[in-house]
Amino acid sequence: EPEVTQTPSHQVTQMGQEVILRCVPISNHLYFYWYRQILGQKVEFLVSFYNNEISEKSEIFDDQFSVERPDGSNFTLKIRSTKLEDSAMYFCASRLGGGSIGEKLFFGSGTQLSVL
Amino acid sequence: DQQVKQNSPSLSVQEGRISILNCDYTNSMFDYFLWYKKYPAEGPTFLISISSIKDKNEDGRFTVFLNKSAKHLSLHIVPSQPGDSAVYFCAASDRGRDDKIIFGKGTRLHILP
């Protein structure tokens, strides 16, 4: 079964450093998402991306965050200057499009980001 | 701002019995509801969904009930099996408005032998 792939599985960084989290969505999918989960808390929506542009973003997704689909297969989340509170599990998700959005939303296994 | 609330952080159920996971929501514009299951070190996987025009949807051992007037939904698992031990997330969306799904905090289900 096709799957969403995320790398790395763990990322440790110093506060103030830039990080790039990488995702390879399912190949024929058209809609892409980033969510995050701080330990013990809910899974939070960050951003959705369609047709090479952001379609929706949350309040969390401020100027320090950006997303890119540089080559038609990868979908990246960049945090420009990490803060301690950015420590979380980051999930990439994708869907084909059309029909009920949730039924076709596939998640990756996540990248655990630890900011020291 | 918790639009989707799962008030029970954990639940233990005997194998073979019924597991009932509850979820409340505050946004009356939500028109689509979903349950996701999550194992450790994996991403959430879709389990079952229900549109606001229905009050029940069944898929094998899993049934979701929606009570719109109470803004409440529940997931029933019958019979519960050991492999059902996981964290269950309730989620909702306003499909007419935007592209995002709002998740609850999750309920950890333990199936006891």
- Grade residue A100 by pLDDT with cuts at 50, 70 and 90: low
**Is the Cβ pair A91, B32 closer than 8 Å?**
no
Q: Tens digit of pLDDT for each residue in A28-54?
A: 888 899 999 998 788 899 999 988 999
Using the predicted structure, report yes or no on whether residue B2 has a pLDDT greater than 90: no
Measure in Å the smallest separation between the Cα of A108 and chain B Cα atoms. Answer: 5
Q: Which of A13, A14, A37, A12 is nearest to A108 (CA)?
A: A37
Judge residue A92's burial from the number of C-beta atoms within 10 Å of its C-beta, 0-12 exposed, 13-18 middle, 19 or more buried: buried
Cβ contact (<8 Å) for B98 and A91? no
Residues of chain A with C-beta less than 8 angstroms from the C-beta of B103: 35, 42-45
Condensed to tens digits (0 to 9), the pLDDT of residues A1-34 reads: 779 999 999 999 999 999 999 999 998 888 899 9
Q: What proportions of chain B, in percent to the nearest 5, are helix, strand and coil?
A: 5, 55, 45
Say if residues B50 and B40 touch (Cβ distance below 8 Å): no
C-beta atoms of B106 and A31 within 8 A: no
Report the chain B residue with the minimal C-alpha distance to residue A108. Answer: B43
Contact between chains at B46 and A102 (C-beta distance less than 8 A): yes
Beta-carbon contacts of B79 under 8 Å, excluding residues fewer than 6 positions away, are: B15, B16, B17, B18, B61
